[in-house]
Amino acid sequence: MVAAVVTRKRFQQRAETSEFEADVLEGLNAIPKHVPAKYFYDAAGSRLFERITELPEYYPTRCEMRILLRHAVDIANMIRSGAALVEFGSGSSRKARILLKAAATKLAAYVPVDICGEMIEQEAAELRTDFPQVKILPVTADICKPFKLPAEAKAAAARVGFFPGSTIGNFEPHEAAGFLRNAANILGRESTLIIGVDLIKSSDILNAAYNDAEGVTAQFNLNLLTRINHELGGTFQLDTFEHHAFYNRERHRVEMHLASLKRQKVKVAGDTIEFRAGETIHTENSYKYSIESLSALARGVGWLPVAVWIDSRKYFSIQSFKLAV
Ligand code: AVI
């Protein structure tokens, strides 16, 4: 039994590595070169992201926490008695805890969904102690793909999806629509969706948020090359690449790139990749929305806008939607 679990885990790891290898090779051989942003989050990348959320220039996490704390009661009022709260990409459940506290007496269940099963199982144990009256039902799944909710969540009086952190901004608009459609299918009739979204604002604030003085965002970006070196036998020399981040006003997105400081050849998984001096690998887009542009996207796939909460500077928003019947 134990051997079977170990074998399955190894097989899963190998499958994940080969998907990483295929995506990296495809992206580095394309024009322009790119690597999907989801690969930032190995253990070191996740730690660096945690540090980013505490930087003075990186306002989104602080703003969202403030909105949640300030309007927890109003947001909890969106939740019907006996409902199940389903968090997409729950991680440490830090933000959901605020809603759990405000709606603990009404919530039948909390379903944290994340690709990292180990982390959510650990969190679930703590949540069971802190919220004994709420059923904690973790699900390990890719939030962008169809997955099944536990029977108790399906049988609940209603389902409330929660997708904080402006993670939706890291999706291309068509992927964001795909996520919203998938969420509608998973949550089903009688459901609500609460999303945290970063708002369009002045380039100065956005450029500072992704070019912090301490250089943590640069380390986060460059860590992708370290990961490729470790996991795919890459030969990237980190001091020959530079972090570039800027707000693209026409496309309402902050772009992150890694720019080669010279003409060079790099090996990755046995392939040779050539770089011109100044050529970049596009590593991330972080789309910024207006209240209206997110509403339009959501409406297009059947979610009707219900309420919006924003901070006093109008930097960040939490928006709620109901599924059209
Ligand atoms: C996770 N995501 C919402 C962050 C963002 O702001 O797009 C990732 C990030 N990239 C650089 N800094 C933070």
pLDDT tens digits, 194-229: 999 999 999 999 999 999 999 999 999 999 999 999
User: For residue 116, what pLDDT is reported?
Assistant: 86
* pTM score above 0.85: yes
Distance 8 CA to ligand 1 centre (A): 32
Q: Looking at ligand 1, which atom is closest to the CA of residue 209?
A: 12
Percent of the chain whose predicted confidence (pLDDT) is above 70 = 95
- The whole-number average pLDDT for the span 137-165 is 97
SS3 assignment, position 306 = strand
Give me the pLDDT at residue 14, please: 56
Q: How far is the CA of 286 from the centre of ligand 1 (A)?
A: 6
pLDDT in tens, 243-288: 999 999 999 999 999 999 999 999 999 999 999 999 999 999 999 9
**Average model confidence (pLDDT) for the chain?**
94
Pocket test for ligand 1, best of 52, 143, 252 (most atoms within 8 A of CB): 52
- What is the mean predicted confidence (pLDDT) over 97-103? 97
Q: Counting Cβ atoms within 10 Å, is residue 85 exposed (0-12), middle (13-18) or buried (19+)?
A: buried
Residue whose structure tokens are 């496309």: 251
Q: How far away, in angstroms, is 106 Cα from ligand 1 center?
A: 32
Check pLDDT > 50 for residue 296. yes
Mutate to test the pocket of ligand 1, among 48, 49, 90, 171 (most ligand atoms within 8 A of CB): 49
Pick the range with the lowest mean pLDDT from 10-19, 84-93, 103-112, 279-288: 10-19
Question: What pLDDT is stored for residue 268 in this prediction?
Answer: 98
Is 3 a residue whose pLDDT tops 50? no
**Is any atom of ligand 1 closer than 6 Å to the C-beta of 191?**
no
Q: How confident is the model at residue 1 (pLDDT cuts 50, 70, 90)?
A: very low
17: phi then psi, degrees, rounded to nearest 5: -65, -40
